[in-house]
């Protein structure tokens, strides 16, 4: 499985001679389908010009914490939130020390502090600097904080020394980076996920639908695959590429989605209903395109089945997770749905006009309500990319799902 496809990789380049290898790293990550953005320290710019990386990545290089133009385009907090993974390659002894001490005195160290994305440190330095007790103590601190460390390698160094401290080969970095996204939290489980909108036909060319992009459902499918689950993704029409290794069933209408989800849930362990299913459909679908004649027209609608409620009421041992997109009274409405639909968990998000998260956005922030023995508990998940959020939600679902 290509674990780097569609991942947003923030690459921090600090000032070592190995910075020249980062150009190759950018290309190889892009070959895997990753989207790469770059931060350079001022000392990295002494080794390689930002233009080199800019030409490769097709994005402006972020170098300065106090640059108003860069902040206006994509501010440092936005950059920190954007990342699915934050890779520091090369990571010099100085950058490693900054991470250990929580310094925020340049752009790279500040974004490291501000980011919730998994951090991957790829050390590269002279063998004596690597062997130094201070560096070794710092590395031990990184390990204790569960920060991912790739390398270093040993061999001949640019300075003429031979020993440990060389940056890991680019091919090895790419091969090992995917492991950051992998775990076995749902190994052996079958997870069924609905995603995207449904389209309810009015006539052969028109339909009723909504703005759901499917991004959250697809991100959950990817995260469930990475957690070792067998995944059936039942998708309404979207522009998204289907995750490799998921069994994807493409559907159009709510009735199609209902049938596909009911079939897939026969042997499922977890059902996550992320789709924005149309609540109603036209009673009659005109066989030919409806002509415009009168000044007014009306379409009679009938209620669609509630896929999630139907499946959760008919499968006692299935762990069911719903979504509640609300413009107001988020918790009240979500609690009502949790109880009415007989769910184990509901993921509530605000889709009000003033919200930057939810429908058709890349970021999301949610409140999760879940049944805990006899009471309903609540857990907040702060704003981050849908990929990171999906990973956190899958971990949470795996924890709450009785294995
Ligand atoms: O009732 P409401 O549509 O707000 O509930 C949202 C939740 O129910 C989502 O998880 C959605 O996928 C699911 N749903 C469904 N079938 C419907 C309507 C909603 O599965 N017809």
pLDDT digits (tens, 9 = 90+) for 145-171: 999 999 999 988 888 888 999 999 999
CA–CA–CA angle 193, 369, 237 (5° rounding): 25
Name the residue with the closest Cα to ligand 1, atom 2. Answer: 324
Which residues, including other chains, have CB under 8 Å from residue 268's CB and lie 6 or more apart?
190, 191, 192, 232, 315, 318
pLDDT digits (tens, 9 = 90+) for 17-56: 999 999 999 999 999 999 999 999 999 999 999 999 999 9
**What is the reported pLDDT for 327?**
87
Token pair for 33: 């389908």
Helix 50-57 and helix 19-31: axis angle, to 10°? 0
**H and E: helices and strands count for the chain:** 15, 19
Residue among 192, 273, 310, 397 whose CB has most ligand 1 atoms within 8 A, to mutate: 273
Tell me the C-alpha distance between 292 and 310, whole Å.
38
Tell me the C-alpha distance between 330 and 323, whole Å.
11
**What is the reported pLDDT for 360?**
62
Tell me the C-alpha distance between 116 and 266, whole Å.
37
**What is the reported pLDDT for 66?**
82
Mean pLDDT of the chain: 93
**What is the reported pLDDT for 364?**
82
Tell me the C-alpha distance between 373 and 344, whole Å.
10
Whether the link from the prior residue into 363 is cis, omega within 30° of 0, is: no
Tell me the C-alpha distance between 255 and 225, whole Å.
26
Distance 30 CA to ligand 1 centre (A): 37
SS3 359: coil
Helix 93-101 and helix 107-114: axis angle, to 10°? 40
Residue among 251, 254, 307 whose CB has most ligand 1 atoms within 8 A, to mutate: 307
Distance 307 CA to ligand 1 centre (A): 7
Distance 342 CA to ligand 1 centre (A): 12
Q: Compute CA distances 150 → 26, 87, 89, 284, whole Å.
A: 16, 10, 9, 60
Kindly report the CATH class assigned to 190-400: alpha beta
Main-chain dihedrals φ then ψ at residue 396, nearest 5 degrees: -65, -45
**Among 255, 263, 273, 250, which Cα is nearest to 201's?**
255
Residues touching ligand 1 (Cβ under 6 Å) are 194, 254, 273-275, 277, 279, 304, 306-308, 322-324, 337
Residue among 216, 322, 349, 370 whose CB has most ligand 1 atoms within 8 A, to mutate: 322
Residues of the chain with pLDDT under 50: none
User: What ligand 1 atom has the least distance to the C-alpha of 275?
Assistant: 12
Tell me the C-alpha distance between 309 and 343, whole Å.
8
Residues of the chain within CATH 3.40.50.1950 domain(s) are 8-181
**What is the reported pLDDT for 289?**
95
For domain 8-181, give the fold: Rossmann fold (3.40.50)
DSSP 8-state code for residue 10: E
Catalytic residues: 159
Distance 366 CA to ligand 1 centre (A): 16
Residues of the chain within CATH 3.40.50.10300 domain(s) are 190-400
Distance 325 CA to ligand 1 centre (A): 9
């Amino acid at each position: 499985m290509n674990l780097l496809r569609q991942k947003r990789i923030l690459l921090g380049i600090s000032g070592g001679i190995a910075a020249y290898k980062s150009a190759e790293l950018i290309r190889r990550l892009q070959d895997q389908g990753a989207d790469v953005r770059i931060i350079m320290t001022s000392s990295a710019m002494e080794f390689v010009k930002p233009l080199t990386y800019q030409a490769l990545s097709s994005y402006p290089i972020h170098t300065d914490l106090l640059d108003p133009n860069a902040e206006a385009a994509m501010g440092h907090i936005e950059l920190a939130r954007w990342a699915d993974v934050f890779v520091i390659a090369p990571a010099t002894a100085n950058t490693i020390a900054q991470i250990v001490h929580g310094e925020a005195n340049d752009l790279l160290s500040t974004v490291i502090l501000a980011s919730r994305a998994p951090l991957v440190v790829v050390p590269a330095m002279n063998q004596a600097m690597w062997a130094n007790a201070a560096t070794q103590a710092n590395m031990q601190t990184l390990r204790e904080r569960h920060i991912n460390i790739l390398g270093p390698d040993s061999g001949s160094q640019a300075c003429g020394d031979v020993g440990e401290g060389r940056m890991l080969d680019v091919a090895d970095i790419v091969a090992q980076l995917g492991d950051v996204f992998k775990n076995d939290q749902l190994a052996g489980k079958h997870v069924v996920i609905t995603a995207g909108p449904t389209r309810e036909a009015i006539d052969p060319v028109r339909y009723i639908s909504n703005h759901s992009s499917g991004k959250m459902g697809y991100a959950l499918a990817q995260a469930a695959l990475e957690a070792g689950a067998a995944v059936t993704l039942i998708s309404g029409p979207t522009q998204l590429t289907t995750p490799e290794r998921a069994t994807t069933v493409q559907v159009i209408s709510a009735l199609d989605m209902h049938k596909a989800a009911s079939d897939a849930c026969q042997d499922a362990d977890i059902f996550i209903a992320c789709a924005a299913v149309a609540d109603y459909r036209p009673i009659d679908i005109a066989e030919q395109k409806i002509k415009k004649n009168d000044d007014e027209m009306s379409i009679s609608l009938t209620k669609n089945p509630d896929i999630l409620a139907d499946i959760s009421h008919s499968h006692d041992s299935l762990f069911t997770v719903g979504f509640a997109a609300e413009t107001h009274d988020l918790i009240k409405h979500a609690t009502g749905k949790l109880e009415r639909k007989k769910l184990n968990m509901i993921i509530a998000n605000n889709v009000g006009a003033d919200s930057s998260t939810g429908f058709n956005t890349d970021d999301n922030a949610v409140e999760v309500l879940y049944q805990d023995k006899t009471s309903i508990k609540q857990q907040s998940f702060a704003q981050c990319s849908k990929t990171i959020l999906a990973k956190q939600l899958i971990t949470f679902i795996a924890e709450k799902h009785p294995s």
